[in-house]
Amino acid sequence: MGAEHEETRTARLRGWIPRRANTARPGRLGRLGRRGRKAVLLGCAGALLAGCASMPDGGDVTAVDPSPRADGDSQVRVYGVPPAQGAQPTNIVRSFLDATTSDEADFRTARMYLASSAKRTWRPFLMTNVLQERPKSVPEAPSGREDGNGYTVTLTGSQVATVDGNHAYTPEEKPYRATIHLIKEGDQWRIDRLPDGLVLGQSDFQRIYRSVNKYYFASYKSESDDPKASKNVLVADPVYLRQRIKPITSSVDALLTGPTDWLDRVTSSAFPPGTRLAARDLSLDDSNSLQVKLSKQAVNTDTAQCKRMAAQLFFTVQDMTRASKISEVELQDPSGNSLCALTQDQANQDFVAPGRNGPSGREYFIDAEHRVVAMSDAATEPTPVQGPFGTGQTPLRSIAISRGETTAAGVSGDGRYLYVAGLEAGATRGAPLMTSASASADTSAGKGADVGLSAPSWDGLGDLWIADRDARGSRLLRMREGKSDPEEVAVPGLGQRRIKAIKVAADGIRIAVLVEDKGRTTLQLGRVERDGTSAHPVLSVQELRPIAPQLEDVVAASWAGGSRLVVVGREAGGVQQMQYMETDGSASDAQTLPGVNGVKAVAASEDETRPLIADATEGIVRLPPDANWKTVAKDGTAPVYPG
């Protein structure tokens, strides 16, 4: 049977003893402790303190069978308990908060704590406030309203993030304070006024939600007619969804609502406006295929558009059901007639999703003899690349390899010049493609690591990006196909801050920027917008937003998946650390990275199965999956993957 039809064994939280449960995998959440494993037991303790618990004295211990479909369904189910007779206002509020952490799709038990008027008006999905800990309930004096029996309870805590009605996560650290008002209905206290949305402690949030990538097509606007701007490039749009409430259905619902606000201007959906699910119980069948009935809006699409819709569904649902590889997605009309089907092979061949299509390239760095060298995952010794950069005759301080591995861009050791050359025998190095307007000859004398030209970066369209920096400011530039004259790209949200480094995503729609401001270097994500005309496009980077807000000194970052970066930095007063972060600013659920000393640069592949490489105290080091760091060269700098 499908994932959402398998028998559910429940842990009866808030006063019921949980049966034996699988350990939940922590969710992605910035600055949140990984305490999801304790959530069920802590919830029981909370229920006992609230005075609404009853303890059964019998019952079997039942093992939970993990689902093969989605790891969200491999966990126990959690339910709240109804209000206790005669419960006092503070206990009503605490038990209500307990009930909002349950795995009920419609919050049926939580609504039992509401007065009749609030049951009609409360909107639990409008917003989720995520706090470091569960909110504290502080009773206040009776309100003295005209009915004479009102009571107010104040909720307080330290907020770390919000999730909006479109499921988009935003880091937001600030004090949290809200009030809940209760009245008596009959002889029982019930909540009649409360904030819309949910307020959850981080451990409950991690247990209930997981980060899922929705996929939309990159929209290149003024450059969309350029042959290099493929119409089939998919962009990951991360959202947080309840992982045990019909996970496949919820991920498709979220996809059909369209991109989140931040990506809306640079992506598009192949689904006609208004398209919705015509059947609301989606699951994979025994062959891991998925049939999706869509509303009438999708019926009159042609085959090409239908395949594009199927591709969005395929990659979105595949991200939700990571434990299973989807074999096929079939779209159907409301009556069950087939509109089109897309197999796994067709999806991977015809559509470009980050890290899922095509070769992911070799690893490159600059060795002690100033040569650009390359190596495969299995290689123990690097070999010089073909072309002028493999001879060591052009000392470089940074490099970037085109995604097709046919061309390299390198910045001279003093940061003044950008060179571009082929990676084939007989290729020659020509004159500089660009000369820094800010670097001077003395940059090589100890003043130059953060001035002059930054390390370059190639996007998936074949364009080359670079920043020109001085002590007072910086400019972001793009060179079409790595050949044309530099075009300045406006960054209106930068203000007086200075760009230190950049890394463009393969889709050319998103750019990671290391930004320096008053001695603090943070990692920001920008959205690349293309306006103007096809002959004269005007590019800008809009709405910079923090990716790793807890880090105040970011040294390096690299794309490591569709919506993931690996980041090296430190918190205030802390030591250097390396971790995965999501593009929405939440911490990734990827494995914890082992420590390595003195990292100055890091590189990751957008194929998440490839090893990390870094420039560290030990030299050039590599981290294969499920292994420890290993030194591949005692001396070397500037490790990169293509991109």
Which residue would you say has higher pLDDT here, 63 or 497?
497
| Shared domain check, 179 and 34 | yes
Average pLDDT score over residue span 206-210: 94
For residue 383, which of 399, 393, 372 has the smallest C-alpha distance? Answer: 372
Q: Is the pLDDT of residue 591 over 80?
A: no
| Shared domain check, 368 and 241 | no
| Predicted local confidence at residue 399, as pLDDT | 98
Would residue 147 count as lying in a domain? yes
| Shared domain check, 156 and 12 | yes
The secondary structure of the chain in percent helix, strand, coil, rounded to multiples of 5, reads 15, 35, 50
Which of 248-252, 308-312, 358-362, 600-604 comes out lowest in average pLDDT?
A: 358-362
Which residue would you say has higher pLDDT here, 418 or 356?
418
C-alpha pair distances (Å), 152 with each of 46, 178, 340: 21, 10, 56
Would residue 437 count as lying in a domain? yes
Count of C-beta atoms within a 10 Å radius of residue 48: 14
Would residue 356 count as lying in a domain? no
Partner residues linked to 583 by β-bridges: none
461: left (phi over 0), alpha (psi -120 to 50) or beta: alpha
Average pLDDT score over residue span 62-66: 35
| Predicted local confidence at residue 448, as pLDDT | 61
| Predicted local confidence at residue 225, as pLDDT | 83
Cα Dmax for the chain: 91
Pick the last residue of a domain from 210, 228, 259: 210
Pick the last residue of a domain from 310, 329, 350: 350
| Shared domain check, 399 and 290 | no
What is the CATH classification number for the domain harbouring 389? 2.120.10.30
| Shared domain check, 401 and 545 | yes
> Token pair of 369, please?
């003899």
| Predicted local confidence at residue 148, as pLDDT | 63
Average pLDDT score over residue span 609-638: 94
| Shared domain check, 610 and 490 | yes
Pick the last residue of a domain from 210, 245, 267: 210
Average pLDDT score over residue span 367-380: 91
The gap between the terminal CA atoms of the chain, to the nearest Å, is 42
Q: Is the pLDDT of residue 321 over 60?
A: yes
Average pLDDT score over residue span 603-616: 92
**Domains identified in the chain, total number:** 3
Give percent of the chain with pLDDT exceeding 70: 84
Average pLDDT score over residue span 18-37: 37
pLDDT tens-digit profile of 153-201?
A: 999 999 999 999 999 999 999 999 999 999 999 999 999 999 999 999 9
Which of 329-333, 483-487, 605-609 comes out lowest in average pLDDT?
A: 605-609
pLDDT tens-digit profile of 78-132?
A: 888 999 999 999 999 999 999 999 999 999 999 999 999 999 999 999 999 999 9
Q: Is the pLDDT of residue 10 over 90?
A: no
| Predicted local confidence at residue 355, as pLDDT | 59
| Predicted local confidence at residue 354, as pLDDT | 67
| Shared domain check, 397 and 301 | no
| Predicted local confidence at residue 283, as pLDDT | 94
505 pLDDT band, cuts 50/70/90, is very high
Average pLDDT score over residue span 420-426: 96
d(CA 253, CA 247): 10
d(CA 311, CA 217): 10
Q: Is the pLDDT of residue 32 over 60?
A: no
| Shared domain check, 329 and 197 | no
| Predicted local confidence at residue 638, as pLDDT | 97
Q: Is the pLDDT of residue 1 over 70?
A: no
| Shared domain check, 215 and 197 | no
- What pTM was computed for the model? 0.86
| Shared domain check, 260 and 132 | no
Please give the mean pLDDT across all residues of the chain: 86
Q: Is the pLDDT of residue 556 over 90?
A: yes
- Contact at 8 Å (CB) between 436 and 468? yes
151 pLDDT band, cuts 50/70/90, is very high
Would residue 109 count as lying in a domain? yes
Count of C-beta atoms within a 10 Å radius of residue 354: 26
C-alpha pair distances (Å), 451 with each of 90, 134, 419, 448: 59, 46, 17, 5
Which residue would you say has higher pLDDT here, 515 or 446?
515
| Predicted local confidence at residue 609, as pLDDT | 85
Which residue would you say has higher pLDDT here, 105 or 59?
105
Average pLDDT score over residue span 455-481: 93
For residue 99, which of 73, 123, 81 has the smallest C-alpha distance? Answer: 81
pLDDT tens-digit profile of 231-285?
A: 899 999 999 999 989 999 999 999 999 999 999 999 999 999 999 999 999 999 9
| Shared domain check, 82 and 44 | yes
| Predicted local confidence at residue 359, as pLDDT | 60
Q: Is the pLDDT of residue 535 over 90?
A: no
Element (H, E) at 241: strand 234-242
> Token pair of 521, please?
């270097």
| Predicted local confidence at residue 89, as pLDDT | 95
| Predicted local confidence at residue 519, as pLDDT | 86
| Shared domain check, 215 and 201 | no
Q: Is the pLDDT of residue 447 over 90?
A: no
Would residue 357 count as lying in a domain? no
Average pLDDT score over residue span 341-353: 91
Q: Is the pLDDT of residue 5 over 50?
A: no
Would residue 355 count as lying in a domain? no
For residue 452, the SS3 value is: strand
Range of the domain at 544: 363-640
Give percent of the chain with pLDDT exceeding 90: 72
| Predicted local confidence at residue 75, as pLDDT | 54
| Cβ density class 531-563: b for 16+ within 10 Å, e for less | eeeeeebebbbeebbbbbbbbbbbbbbbbbbbb
Partner residues linked to 502 by β-bridges: 513
Which residue would you say has higher pLDDT here, 39 or 535?
535
Would residue 358 count as lying in a domain? no
| Predicted local confidence at residue 441, as pLDDT | 43
Would residue 406 count as lying in a domain? yes
Q: Is the pLDDT of residue 41 over 50?
A: no
